[in-house]
Amino acid sequence: MRLASTVSLAAAMLLVASAGQADPAAGEKLFTGKNCNGCHYTQGPAQEKTIDDQLAKKGPELWYAGSKFQKAWLKGWLADPKPIRPLKYNSLTEKNPGNHPKLSAADAGAVTDYLMTLTTPEVKKGAAGKGKKLKGKLVFMKKMPCKGCHQYPKRKKVLGGLSGPSLVGASKRLNPDWIYAYMMKPKVFKPVKMMPVFTGILNEVDVKNVTTFIGKFK
């Protein structure tokens, strides 16, 4: 009796441990098996050199996914994807059809474990620091055109432009250190994009402030 319960306790513990274990290799297999790489490239550095290169892509690059996304968000989104970009990828005229491939919860977990291994040293932990939220708001809302292209939350409403990814929910979706690196080193992440380059226009402090502001979007 005593022995049996010890054994089953040990077995239960083993089960729990293996369920919680990351398995990036299985996730990578699923990623290729489900043809995710037909639309997303996972090998850095950035490959786009011209407007045509960018327009030829069928989905956003994922080679720095582990530095960009928050793990819990990624897992949830892969199992239940909701539109992030209001417009269809690389289109100015069509709405996002909201038909992204969906994964089972288990597959989403494995693929997340794989995608979270795709990191880049260009994103430094803690780099975003603590900016001033109200100064960041001034940059986003008054000094710069950010709101012209990005949706953002205001109380219960969603306002803003449609050509960029929605920033609603950025507090759960994006890693602030990645936002900071993305703004400071645009050529590393996005050599060709519809968003203007702000380095030399916004300084380090401005970027920290605006990162802090975006980093609180619910």
Partner 1 sequence: MPRITIVSALLLVFGLAAAGSAQAVDVEKTFKFYCAQCHGLDGKGKGPNVTKDFATTPRNFTDPKEMNKLTDGDIKTAIKDGGPAVSKSELMPPWGKTLTDEEIDALVGYIRKLCQCKGKQG
Cα–Cα distance between 218 and 211 in angstroms, integer?
14
The continuous run of DSSP H or E covering 182 comes out as helix 176-184
* Residue of the chain from 11, 72, 106, 159 that contacts partner 1 (CB under 8 A): 159
Stretch of 17-25, 57-65, 119-127, 151-159 contacting ligand HEC, by CB under 6 A:
57-65
Shortest Å, Cβ 143 to partner 1: 6
* Residue of the chain from 15, 51, 56, 105 that contacts partner 1 (CB under 8 A): 51
Under rule CB under 6 A, residue 59 binds ligand HEC:
yes
Q: Are 41 and 126 in contact (CB under 8 A)?
A: no
Question: What's the token pair of residue 140?
Answer: 């986003």
Interaction mask 199-218, partner 1, x per CB under 8 A = xxx-----------------
Under rule CB under 8 A, residue 187 binds partner 1:
no
Under rule CB under 8 A, residue 106 binds partner 1:
no
Give the relative orientation of helices 204-214 and 176-184 as an angle to the nearest 10 degrees. 140
Residue 55 binds which of partner 1, ligand HEC, none (CB < 5-8 A, kind-dependent) = partner 1
Q: Are 213 and 139 in contact (CB under 8 A)?
A: yes
Cα–Cα distance between 92 and 76 in angstroms, integer?
28
Shortest Å, Cβ 137 to partner 1: 14
Under rule CB under 6 A, residue 164 binds ligand HEC:
yes
Q: What is the DSSP string of 62-90?
A: -TTHHHHB-HHHHHHHHHS---SSSBPTT
Sign of CA dihedral 78, 81, 84, 89: positive
Binding site for ligand HEC (CB under 6 A): 31, 34-36, 38-40, 58-60, 62, 65, 74, 78, 83-85, 89, 96, 100-101, 103, 111, 140, 144-146, 148-150, 163-165, 179, 182, 190, 193-196, 198, 210, 214
